[in-house]
Amino acid sequence: MPGPNRILLAIQGFHPHRWYELLSASRPVTLEPDGPADPSIDYAVVWKHRPGVLASLPNLKAIFSIGAGVDHILNDPAVPDVPIVRVVAQNLTQYMVEYVVWRVLDHHRQGALYRTQQPRKIWHEPLQPPADEIAVGIMGLGQLGRAAAKALLALGFKVNGWSRTAHTMEGVAIWHGENELTPFLNATDILVALLPLTPATRGIVDYSLLGKLNRENGLGGAFFVNAGRGQLQKDADIARALDDGLIKEASLDVFETEPLPETSPLWTHPKVFVTPHSAASSDPVHLVPLMLEQMDALERGERLTNIVDRKAGY
Protein backbone atom coordinates (compact mmCIF):
# COMPACT_ATOMS: atom_id res chain seq x y z
CA MET A 1 0.00 0.00 0.00
CA PRO A 2 1.72 3.24 -1.05
CA GLY A 3 1.83 6.07 1.48
CA PRO A 4 -0.04 9.34 1.02
CA ASN A 5 1.12 11.47 -1.90
CA ARG A 6 4.13 13.62 -1.24
CA ILE A 7 4.11 17.17 -2.55
CA LEU A 8 7.03 19.37 -3.51
CA LEU A 9 6.28 23.03 -2.77
CA ALA A 10 8.50 25.26 -4.93
CA ILE A 11 7.81 28.98 -4.54
CA GLN A 12 9.91 32.04 -5.20
CA GLY A 13 8.93 35.65 -4.66
CA PHE A 14 6.81 35.26 -1.55
CA HIS A 15 6.87 33.26 1.66
CA PRO A 16 5.55 29.71 1.29
CA HIS A 17 4.47 29.54 4.94
CA ARG A 18 0.66 29.53 4.50
CA TRP A 19 0.77 27.16 1.56
CA TYR A 20 3.06 24.82 3.49
CA GLU A 21 0.83 24.85 6.53
CA LEU A 22 -2.37 24.11 4.62
CA LEU A 23 -0.94 21.47 2.29
CA SER A 24 0.95 19.69 5.05
CA ALA A 25 -2.22 19.38 7.14
CA SER A 26 -3.16 16.45 4.90
CA ARG A 27 -0.06 15.42 2.88
CA PRO A 28 3.66 15.19 3.48
CA VAL A 29 5.24 18.27 1.93
CA THR A 30 8.84 18.85 0.92
CA LEU A 31 9.93 22.44 0.57
CA GLU A 32 12.20 23.19 -2.35
CA PRO A 33 15.30 23.34 -2.44
CA ASP A 34 15.07 19.92 -0.77
CA GLY A 35 13.39 17.35 -2.96
CA PRO A 36 15.24 17.10 -6.25
CA ALA A 37 15.53 13.48 -7.35
CA ASP A 38 13.26 12.38 -4.50
CA PRO A 39 11.31 9.39 -5.91
CA SER A 40 8.60 9.75 -3.26
CA ILE A 41 7.36 13.08 -4.67
CA ASP A 42 4.15 12.70 -6.68
CA TYR A 43 3.01 16.28 -7.15
CA ALA A 44 4.55 19.73 -7.39
CA VAL A 45 2.80 22.94 -6.34
CA VAL A 46 4.72 25.82 -7.85
CA TRP A 47 5.08 29.55 -8.36
CA LYS A 48 8.22 30.67 -10.23
CA HIS A 49 10.06 27.46 -9.32
CA ARG A 50 13.77 27.25 -10.01
CA PRO A 51 14.14 26.05 -13.62
CA GLY A 52 15.23 22.42 -13.82
CA VAL A 53 14.02 21.40 -10.39
CA LEU A 54 10.92 19.58 -11.68
CA ALA A 55 12.84 17.59 -14.29
CA SER A 56 14.75 15.83 -11.53
CA LEU A 57 11.66 14.25 -9.93
CA PRO A 58 11.43 10.70 -11.33
CA ASN A 59 7.83 9.95 -10.28
CA LEU A 60 6.13 13.30 -10.73
CA LYS A 61 2.46 12.88 -11.76
CA ALA A 62 1.28 16.48 -12.17
CA ILE A 63 2.27 20.10 -11.61
CA PHE A 64 -0.13 22.58 -9.98
CA SER A 65 0.24 26.28 -10.63
CA ILE A 66 -0.43 28.58 -7.71
CA GLY A 67 -1.55 31.29 -10.16
CA ALA A 68 -4.07 31.49 -12.96
CA GLY A 69 -1.21 32.21 -15.36
CA VAL A 70 1.25 29.44 -16.12
CA ASP A 71 3.95 31.35 -17.99
CA HIS A 72 6.11 30.96 -14.87
CA ILE A 73 6.04 27.18 -15.41
CA LEU A 74 6.41 27.06 -19.18
CA ASN A 75 9.40 29.40 -18.96
CA ASP A 76 11.34 26.39 -17.68
CA PRO A 77 12.62 24.58 -20.80
CA ALA A 78 13.07 21.41 -18.72
CA VAL A 79 9.52 21.17 -17.41
CA PRO A 80 8.66 17.45 -17.50
CA ASP A 81 5.92 16.03 -19.68
CA VAL A 82 3.23 15.63 -17.03
CA PRO A 83 -0.11 17.48 -16.84
CA ILE A 84 0.07 21.09 -15.67
CA VAL A 85 -3.03 22.27 -13.82
CA ARG A 86 -3.92 25.95 -13.63
CA VAL A 87 -6.07 27.66 -11.03
CA VAL A 88 -9.73 28.09 -11.79
CA ALA A 89 -11.41 29.22 -8.58
CA GLN A 90 -14.43 31.29 -7.76
CA ASN A 91 -12.47 33.26 -5.20
CA LEU A 92 -9.74 34.32 -7.64
CA THR A 93 -12.28 35.11 -10.36
CA GLN A 94 -14.24 37.28 -7.95
CA TYR A 95 -11.13 39.30 -7.01
CA MET A 96 -10.34 39.84 -10.67
CA VAL A 97 -13.87 40.95 -11.50
CA GLU A 98 -13.74 43.42 -8.60
CA TYR A 99 -10.46 44.87 -9.81
CA VAL A 100 -11.62 45.27 -13.42
CA VAL A 101 -14.96 46.80 -12.42
CA TRP A 102 -13.21 49.12 -9.94
CA ARG A 103 -10.73 50.43 -12.48
CA VAL A 104 -13.24 50.70 -15.34
CA LEU A 105 -15.67 52.61 -13.14
CA ASP A 106 -12.92 54.90 -11.87
CA HIS A 107 -11.95 55.79 -15.44
CA HIS A 108 -15.57 56.06 -16.55
CA ARG A 109 -16.63 58.22 -13.57
CA GLN A 110 -13.50 60.39 -13.90
CA GLY A 111 -11.98 59.58 -10.52
CA ALA A 112 -8.62 61.01 -11.55
CA LEU A 113 -10.20 64.39 -12.33
CA TYR A 114 -12.01 64.56 -8.99
CA ARG A 115 -8.80 63.64 -7.17
CA THR A 116 -7.11 66.68 -8.71
CA GLN A 117 -10.09 68.95 -7.98
CA GLN A 118 -10.56 68.12 -4.30
CA PRO A 119 -7.24 69.41 -2.89
CA ARG A 120 -7.86 72.64 -4.83
CA LYS A 121 -11.45 72.83 -3.50
CA ILE A 122 -12.84 72.96 -7.04
CA TRP A 123 -16.62 72.43 -7.30
CA HIS A 124 -16.92 71.48 -10.96
CA GLU A 125 -19.12 68.85 -12.50
CA PRO A 126 -17.69 67.47 -15.75
CA LEU A 127 -19.90 66.06 -18.49
CA GLN A 128 -20.55 62.45 -17.65
CA PRO A 129 -21.33 60.04 -20.50
CA PRO A 130 -23.58 57.13 -19.56
CA ALA A 131 -22.11 53.63 -19.42
CA ASP A 132 -23.92 52.55 -22.56
CA GLU A 133 -21.93 55.07 -24.59
CA ILE A 134 -18.61 53.60 -23.46
CA ALA A 135 -17.18 50.39 -24.90
CA VAL A 136 -14.89 48.30 -22.73
CA GLY A 137 -12.76 45.93 -24.79
CA ILE A 138 -11.40 42.84 -23.06
CA MET A 139 -8.38 41.12 -24.57
CA GLY A 140 -8.52 37.50 -23.43
CA LEU A 141 -11.84 35.71 -23.03
CA GLY A 142 -10.89 32.92 -20.68
CA GLN A 143 -12.43 32.33 -17.28
CA LEU A 144 -11.41 35.76 -15.98
CA GLY A 145 -12.16 37.77 -19.11
CA ARG A 146 -15.64 36.31 -19.46
CA ALA A 147 -16.49 36.89 -15.81
CA ALA A 148 -15.35 40.52 -16.10
CA ALA A 149 -17.38 40.92 -19.32
CA LYS A 150 -20.51 39.66 -17.55
CA ALA A 151 -20.10 42.13 -14.67
CA LEU A 152 -19.49 45.05 -17.05
CA LEU A 153 -22.55 44.14 -19.12
CA ALA A 154 -24.62 44.15 -15.93
CA LEU A 155 -23.41 47.71 -15.30
CA GLY A 156 -24.62 48.74 -18.73
CA PHE A 157 -21.31 49.13 -20.60
CA LYS A 158 -20.91 48.08 -24.20
CA VAL A 159 -18.53 45.13 -24.05
CA ASN A 160 -16.15 44.01 -26.79
CA GLY A 161 -13.91 40.98 -26.67
CA TRP A 162 -10.81 39.84 -28.52
CA SER A 163 -9.29 36.39 -28.32
CA ARG A 164 -6.95 34.08 -30.16
CA THR A 165 -9.67 31.66 -31.15
CA ALA A 166 -13.35 32.23 -31.98
CA HIS A 167 -15.68 32.53 -29.00
CA THR A 168 -19.27 33.61 -28.51
CA MET A 169 -20.83 35.29 -25.54
CA GLU A 170 -24.27 36.83 -25.38
CA GLY A 171 -24.18 40.61 -25.43
CA VAL A 172 -20.45 40.79 -26.25
CA ALA A 173 -19.14 41.81 -29.68
CA ILE A 174 -16.22 39.48 -30.29
CA TRP A 175 -13.29 39.73 -32.69
CA HIS A 176 -10.63 37.08 -32.95
CA GLY A 177 -7.21 36.51 -34.38
CA GLU A 178 -4.52 38.93 -35.46
CA ASN A 179 -6.51 40.17 -38.47
CA GLU A 180 -9.38 41.36 -36.31
CA LEU A 181 -7.31 43.12 -33.66
CA THR A 182 -7.46 46.57 -35.28
CA PRO A 183 -11.27 46.70 -35.69
CA PHE A 184 -11.61 45.53 -32.08
CA LEU A 185 -9.31 48.34 -30.88
CA ASN A 186 -11.01 50.95 -33.08
CA ALA A 187 -14.33 50.08 -31.40
CA THR A 188 -12.91 50.20 -27.84
CA ASP A 189 -12.69 53.16 -25.41
CA ILE A 190 -11.36 51.34 -22.33
CA LEU A 191 -9.00 48.45 -23.05
CA VAL A 192 -8.58 45.70 -20.44
CA ALA A 193 -5.73 43.19 -20.87
CA LEU A 194 -6.46 39.76 -19.41
CA LEU A 195 -4.46 37.68 -21.85
CA PRO A 196 -2.14 34.86 -20.91
CA LEU A 197 1.54 35.58 -21.54
CA THR A 198 2.71 33.46 -24.48
CA PRO A 199 5.23 34.04 -27.27
CA ALA A 200 2.30 35.39 -29.34
CA THR A 201 1.15 37.92 -26.74
CA ARG A 202 4.49 39.14 -25.34
CA GLY A 203 4.79 42.90 -25.85
CA ILE A 204 1.46 43.07 -27.72
CA VAL A 205 0.38 46.26 -25.94
CA ASP A 206 2.78 48.76 -27.49
CA TYR A 207 2.58 52.36 -28.69
CA SER A 208 1.03 51.45 -32.01
CA LEU A 209 -1.67 49.25 -30.43
CA LEU A 210 -2.65 51.96 -27.94
CA GLY A 211 -2.88 54.45 -30.80
CA LYS A 212 -5.67 52.39 -32.37
CA LEU A 213 -8.10 52.81 -29.46
CA ASN A 214 -11.09 55.11 -29.89
CA ARG A 215 -10.49 58.55 -28.40
CA GLU A 216 -13.59 60.23 -29.85
CA ASN A 217 -15.91 59.58 -26.93
CA GLY A 218 -17.61 61.44 -24.10
CA LEU A 219 -14.61 60.84 -21.82
CA GLY A 220 -12.25 62.66 -24.17
CA GLY A 221 -9.79 59.83 -24.58
CA ALA A 222 -8.94 56.16 -24.32
CA PHE A 223 -7.86 54.16 -21.28
CA PHE A 224 -5.75 51.09 -20.59
CA VAL A 225 -6.11 48.60 -17.73
CA ASN A 226 -3.64 45.71 -17.36
CA ALA A 227 -4.58 43.00 -14.90
CA GLY A 228 -2.93 40.17 -16.83
CA ARG A 229 0.83 40.06 -17.18
CA GLY A 230 3.31 42.91 -17.26
CA GLN A 231 5.19 41.47 -20.20
CA LEU A 232 2.10 41.85 -22.37
CA GLN A 233 2.91 45.55 -22.36
CA LYS A 234 5.90 47.76 -23.06
CA ASP A 235 6.14 50.00 -20.00
CA ALA A 236 7.99 52.75 -21.88
CA ASP A 237 5.37 52.77 -24.64
CA ILE A 238 2.61 53.27 -22.10
CA ALA A 239 4.35 56.32 -20.64
CA ARG A 240 4.88 57.70 -24.16
CA ALA A 241 1.27 56.98 -25.19
CA LEU A 242 0.05 58.87 -22.10
CA ASP A 243 2.34 61.82 -22.74
CA ASP A 244 1.31 61.98 -26.41
CA GLY A 245 -2.40 61.73 -25.54
CA LEU A 246 -3.02 58.38 -27.25
CA ILE A 247 -4.43 57.25 -23.94
CA LYS A 248 -5.76 59.47 -21.18
CA GLU A 249 -5.10 57.27 -18.14
CA ALA A 250 -3.87 53.79 -17.27
CA SER A 251 -4.46 51.39 -14.39
CA LEU A 252 -1.56 48.99 -14.13
CA ASP A 253 -1.42 46.05 -11.75
CA VAL A 254 1.46 44.37 -13.58
CA PHE A 255 4.74 45.53 -15.09
CA GLU A 256 7.56 44.31 -17.30
CA THR A 257 9.77 44.05 -14.19
CA GLU A 258 8.27 43.34 -10.77
CA PRO A 259 8.49 44.81 -8.24
CA LEU A 260 8.25 47.95 -10.39
CA PRO A 261 11.75 49.51 -10.20
CA GLU A 262 11.96 52.75 -8.22
CA THR A 263 13.37 54.43 -11.31
CA SER A 264 10.24 53.74 -13.40
CA PRO A 265 8.43 56.94 -14.42
CA LEU A 266 5.15 55.04 -14.07
CA TRP A 267 5.36 55.30 -10.26
CA THR A 268 4.89 59.05 -10.28
CA HIS A 269 3.04 59.57 -13.54
CA PRO A 270 -0.08 61.61 -12.69
CA LYS A 271 -2.21 59.58 -15.08
CA VAL A 272 -1.18 56.14 -13.90
CA PHE A 273 -2.77 54.17 -11.09
CA VAL A 274 -0.32 51.56 -9.77
CA THR A 275 -1.10 48.44 -7.74
CA PRO A 276 1.54 45.79 -6.85
CA HIS A 277 0.30 42.73 -8.81
CA SER A 278 -2.51 42.44 -6.29
CA ALA A 279 -5.59 42.40 -8.54
CA ALA A 280 -6.34 38.74 -7.84
CA SER A 281 -4.00 37.09 -5.39
CA SER A 282 -4.09 33.35 -4.90
CA ASP A 283 -5.47 32.49 -1.50
CA PRO A 284 -4.34 29.07 -0.26
CA VAL A 285 -7.40 28.72 1.96
CA HIS A 286 -9.50 28.53 -1.21
CA LEU A 287 -7.01 26.96 -3.58
CA VAL A 288 -5.39 24.17 -1.54
CA PRO A 289 -8.65 22.16 -1.20
CA LEU A 290 -9.16 22.37 -4.98
CA MET A 291 -5.63 21.07 -5.57
CA LEU A 292 -6.06 18.21 -3.10
CA GLU A 293 -9.38 17.22 -4.70
CA GLN A 294 -7.68 17.05 -8.08
CA MET A 295 -4.83 14.91 -6.71
CA ASP A 296 -7.41 12.54 -5.15
CA ALA A 297 -9.29 12.34 -8.44
CA LEU A 298 -6.15 11.40 -10.34
CA GLU A 299 -5.31 8.74 -7.73
CA ARG A 300 -8.79 7.27 -8.28
CA GLY A 301 -8.02 7.07 -11.99
CA GLU A 302 -10.20 10.06 -12.94
CA ARG A 303 -9.20 12.87 -15.24
CA LEU A 304 -7.71 16.14 -14.09
CA THR A 305 -9.54 19.34 -15.01
CA ASN A 306 -8.18 22.74 -16.06
CA ILE A 307 -5.14 21.20 -17.71
CA VAL A 308 -2.85 23.58 -19.56
CA ASP A 309 -2.61 23.24 -23.33
CA ARG A 310 1.17 23.42 -23.72
CA LYS A 311 1.04 24.24 -27.37
CA ALA A 312 -1.26 27.20 -26.81
CA GLY A 313 0.80 28.19 -23.76
CA TYR A 314 -2.08 28.54 -21.28
Contact positions toward ligand GLV, by CB under 6 A? 67-69, 280, 282
Q: What is the smallest separation between the CB atom of 227 and ligand GLV, expressed in angstroms? A: 9
120 is annotated as an active-site residue: no
CA distance 72 to 93: 19
CA distance 17 to 155: 39
For the chain, state the CA radius of gyration: 21
Q: What is the smallest separation between the CB atom of 97 and ligand GLV, expressed in angstroms? A: 14
Q: What is the smallest separation between the CB atom of 230 and ligand GLV, expressed in angstroms? A: 10
229 is annotated as an active-site residue: yes
Q: Which residue is nearest to ligand GLV (CB)?
A: 67
**How do 172-176 and 190-193 pair as beta strands?**
unpaired
Q: Annotated catalytic residue: which of 6, 17, 277, 310?
A: 277
Which of 276, 203, 213 has its CA nearest to residue 234?
A: 203
Burial of 263 (0-12, 13-18, 19+ CB in 10 A): exposed
| CB nearer to ligand GLV: pick between 93 and 110 | 93
Handedness of CA 273, 197, 101, 216 (dihedral sign): positive
| CB nearer to ligand GLV: pick between 69 and 145 | 69
Q: What is the smallest separation between the CB atom of 68 and ligand GLV, expressed in angstroms? A: 4
Q: What is the smallest separation between the CB atom of 232 and ligand GLV, expressed in angstroms? A: 12
| CB nearer to ligand GLV: pick between 30 and 251 | 251
| CB nearer to ligand GLV: pick between 67 and 284 | 67
CA distance 125 to 128: 8
Which of 64, 72, 56 has its CA nearest to residue 27?
A: 64
Q: What is the smallest separation between the CB atom of 271 and ligand GLV, expressed in angstroms? A: 24
| CB nearer to ligand GLV: pick between 246 and 280 | 280
Q: Annotated catalytic residue: which of 49, 103, 108, 229?
A: 229
How far is CA 25 from its chain centroid?
A: 29
Positions marked catalytic: 229, 277
